[in-house]
Chains A and B, each alone.
Chain A
């Protein structure tokens, strides 16, 4: 087993560089280390100027998403032992503007997320005195998978459609919209469909399917979008055949 491994890390220092470059660091190879541990080792011992985001180190916060050897990954879940031959190439997520080194700007996603209304919409709220909105395990099961999203943005980085059409609402936001559509307590599906059946919504997706493959939480955004399309198409046919029924 090697004692060290080389990390080729993308650097972008906007005050001095006009485009990113790679810098190689030699870090100890430990089989219990993930790429994030190696980055922290660099930050603490080799080069304090390296910038990257991280927080929980356990695949919950969604902060440490980067491209490792070309594949979008949570660096807290990418073991060095899986890349023994090195060098391990670490780059910022694709398609987002780079602020510095491995840090990308996510403002665009925050706007898109808000646009799809990812919260429970009720036509009329039940008085508190009447208690909670109850849900059976089966009703929970209908949306639970889509609720696991941690907004890590790996799916956007894997989506060439988002790269080519930056206005595309994108996998995570649509999966989260579908999470609320499938929730038995929600009544906002029609509102969301109006937003998402516009240009830049579900019909931009051509089902590349890579978003689902890279998702660390097995959310299946590609499935969410296709199911959304099916629901949208059924709604459209219904409104055509029964104009009074689908209103």
Chain B
């Protein structure tokens, strides 16, 4: 039914040769539209906590350089509830970071062996395997000392 027939007014500025497109604006809250978008933004946010761990490490090195007293003060500060809480939170985010990126790895790594593409589960498995081995090695070094 045409607008005239429906009794709606016609915009005089609209002609076939001067069409009027409707452009939608993206809402600031686009990332709450569905779970996948929210998960993506959460994954991006994990980088803040990865950076947090890096800063703590640099701080630790600085304390180490300043001598045993400074290092002892650093350790006391790390033991405060604020830092324990922050570390707990950061650990959860970094875990989320690691797991989501490991699961995405096969999309970026299209490895071909003798003409055939290596299946996704092999790539994911190798990533998790390397993670386990490296974590194990770190645990051995730390616990032995």
Q: Report which A residues bind B (CB closer than 8 A).
A: 12-16, 19-20, 47-49, 70, 94-95, 97-99, 105, 136, 138, 141-142, 160, 163-164, 206-210, 212-213, 220, 222-223, 226-227, 229-230
Contact = CB atoms under 8 A, between A and B. Distances in A.
A230 B109 CA distance: 8
B142 interface: no
A164 B2 CA distance: 35
B104 A207 contact: yes
Q: Which of B36, B44, B107 has the most CB of A within 10 A?
A: B107
Contact of B34 (A15, A70, A138, A207): A70
B10 A15 contact: yes
How many B residues are at the interface, by size bracket? 20 to 34
Given A15-B3, A206-B44, A230 B108 contact: yes
A16 B11 contact: yes
Contacts of B106: 223
B104 to A, nearest CB: 7
B30 A163 contact: yes
B3 A160 contact: no
B20 interface: yes
B89 to A, nearest CB: 23
B1 A208 contact: no
B119 to A, nearest CB: 14
26 contacts: A14-B20, A14-B22, A15-B10, A15-B14, A16-B10, A19-B22, A48-B1, A70-B34, A95-B24, A95-B26, A98-B21, A98-B24, A136-B115, A138-B115, A142-B112, A163-B26, A164-B26, A164-B30, A208-B36, A208-B37, A210-B36, A213-B36, A227-B109, A229-B108, A230-B108, A230-B109
Interface in B1-51: 1-3, 8-11, 14, 19-24, 26, 30-31, 33-34, 36-37, 40, 44
A14 B10 CA distance: 9
A164 B44 CA distance: 16
A195 B10 CA distance: 45
B110 interface: yes
A12 B116 CA distance: 49
Given A105-B21, A209-B107, 17 more contacts: A13-B3, A14-B20, A16-B10, A16-B11, A70-B34, A94-B24, A95-B26, A97-B21, A98-B22, A141-B117, A142-B112, A164-B30, A206-B44, A209-B40, A223-B107, A226-B104, A230-B109
A80 B145 CA distance: 65
B107 A210 contact: no
B2 A49 contact: yes
